Every structure is written in C-alpha cells, then in structure tokens.
Amino acid sequence: MEDQVAFLSALAEPTRLAALRILWDGGEHCVCELMTKLGASQSRMSRHMSALKAVGLVADRRDAQWVRYRLTPDLAPSAREILDAVMAAVAEPKRRAA
Amino acid sequence: MEDQVAFLSALAEPTRLAALRILWDGGEHCVCELMTKLGASQSRMSRHMSALKAVGLVADRRDAQWVRYRLTPDLAPSAREILDAVMAAVAEPKRRAA
DNA sequence: GGCGCATATGCGCCCGACCGCATATCAAGG
DNA sequence: CCTTGATATGCGGTCGGGCGCATATGCGCC
C-alpha cells in the first residue's frame, strides 16, 4: 500500500498535477516549456518532474540540451486508472464544490 | 483544481487510506473500531476521520456514544471515480511494483 | 576551450502535516 | 450527580515537503 500512498502524494500537489495535465496530451514536453506555462521556477519544475519520475508516472529522454518528459507509456493498469480518473476530474468544467 | 489537490492529499496518507478501505464495504464503522483495526491512537484516528470528512469523502452520524462513519453516499461522480480506482488498486493482490 | 542555454542538485529555510499527551465534550446508565 | 466509555480538540514538538538561491552538469556551437 505504500506504493499507492507515494503515487497519490505525487498527484497531490498543484504544480505536479498541472504538469501532468499538460503531459496528458501524450506528447513530449521539456522542462523549459512546463516552467513557462506553469509559471514555476526552473529548479522547482525540475524537482517536481523528478518527483513524478520517481513514482514512475513520467519518463524522460535526453534530446540535445533538453530533457523531454512524457507520461510513462506502459503505466501499470491500476495506476493508469487512477490517473485517468484524476485527469478527467481536473479537466472538468467548474461546477459547485463536491 | 484546488479541490482535487485537497481530495488527493486526503487519500495520500496510509491510515486514511486504510480507513477508507474499511469503509469501502459500504457500512458504518465507529472510530473505536477503526482505531483498533488499524492500530492507531484515538486522537490520531479521530483527526484522520475528521480530515476525510472535511474533503467530503465520508459522512458521520452520532449514534448514542458512538460516531458512525460511512462513505459519503452521494459523492460527486468525478470524485467517486477516483475513489473507485484507488480502492481497486489498494485491494489488488501483490504484483510487481508499479 | 569558451560560451550559452537547459537541466539537475546541494544547501538552508520555512511552514504545515502529523503525532502524543492531556483535557474537554457528550451520551448512557446506575 | 457521578462514573464510564466514546469522541473531539487544544497544545507543543518533530519531521518532511516545497521553496529560492547558488552552483554544478550536460550539450551544442563557434
């Protein structure tokens, strides 16, 4: 169960959640793009991506001077389902609070 | 998005997650039962349940000297889906790490 | 090699989450 | 009313997460 807690903790942070929402398009995105879009400092964004990588949510690839992040393609099914549900919730239009 | 972060934060704690797993049977459970089953102190368990209540995950009902907690019956659909996915993951038999 | 852009990381700080302990509150029963 | 069992809460302490700043590292280019 520890895995799930770590996984959920990784999701439970605004910047990381927002980053995942961007990665949710299935494409690759460099740190510089994410930090710009999310208004985060460089070190902050780098660390957050590192945290997402640590729990296996994202993968990275070096491409020249950039590091391209993407969602882990073969994410475990149970994790995938959680992520799907969370992304669906985040993408939702505003309603009254739950 | 803040709501979702609070919601996920509530899930991202071992004792709370374990408590939800117990409540997952759909029934009502008092604090004394939860604290015993989870090996948590009284104040600790009370506070954790309070935290779950604060984000709308559980509802409570006073029954004589006990307070019976249960999953919020009319949980918002998006929240419900996340909870379902998480519970399914937690309930899963052990496999290789995600 | 030197420069510049992109990224990672060491370091120290701060703040909030979580805890235990003690105490308050509440309900039932004698 | 007093006690007893169940639950909530005020308080202080600890610990870890997240941050900025500075610096290191990686990479391409000239």
Round and report the angstrom distance from CA (A33) to C1' (C5).
13
The pTM (predicted TM-score) of the whole model is: 0.92
pLDDT for A21 equals 98
| Contact (Cβ atoms closer than 8 angstroms) between residue A32 and residue A40 | no
- The pLDDT of B26-42, averaged and rounded, is 98
Above pLDDT 70, what percent of chain B? Answer: 94
Contact A1 B97 (CB under 8 A): no
A59 shares contact with chain B (CB less than 8 Å): no
Instruction: Find tokens 């999701």 and name the residue.
Output: A11
Interatomic CA distance for residues A78 and A4, integer angstroms:
10
Interatomic CA distance for residues A28 and A60, integer angstroms:
9
Contact B79 A98 (CB under 8 A): yes
Instruction: Find tokens 């400092």 and name the residue.
Output: A41
CB atoms within 10 A of CB B40: 19
Helix (H) or strand (E) holding B37: helix B31-38
The pLDDT tens digits for A23-60 are: 999 999 999 999 999 999 999 999 999 999 999 999 99
| Contact (Cβ atoms closer than 8 angstroms) between residue B86 and residue A82 | yes
Contact B4 A90 (CB under 8 A): yes
pLDDT category of residue B35 using cuts at 50, 70 and 90: very high
Interatomic CA distance for residues B27 and B64, integer angstroms:
17
For β-strands A58-63 and B29-30, DSSP reports them as unpaired
Strand D close residues, chain A 10-39, CB < 7 angstroms? 12-13, 15
Average pLDDT of chain A? 95
Above pLDDT 70, what percent of chain A? Answer: 94
Assign B64 to helix, strand or coil: coil
Instruction: Judge if the beta carbon of B19 is closer than 7 A to nucleic acid strand D.
Output: no
Find and list the nucleotides of strand C having atoms within 7 Å of a protein beta carbon: 4-10, 17-22, 26-28
Instruction: List the CATH code of the domain at B4-90.
Output: 1.10.10.10
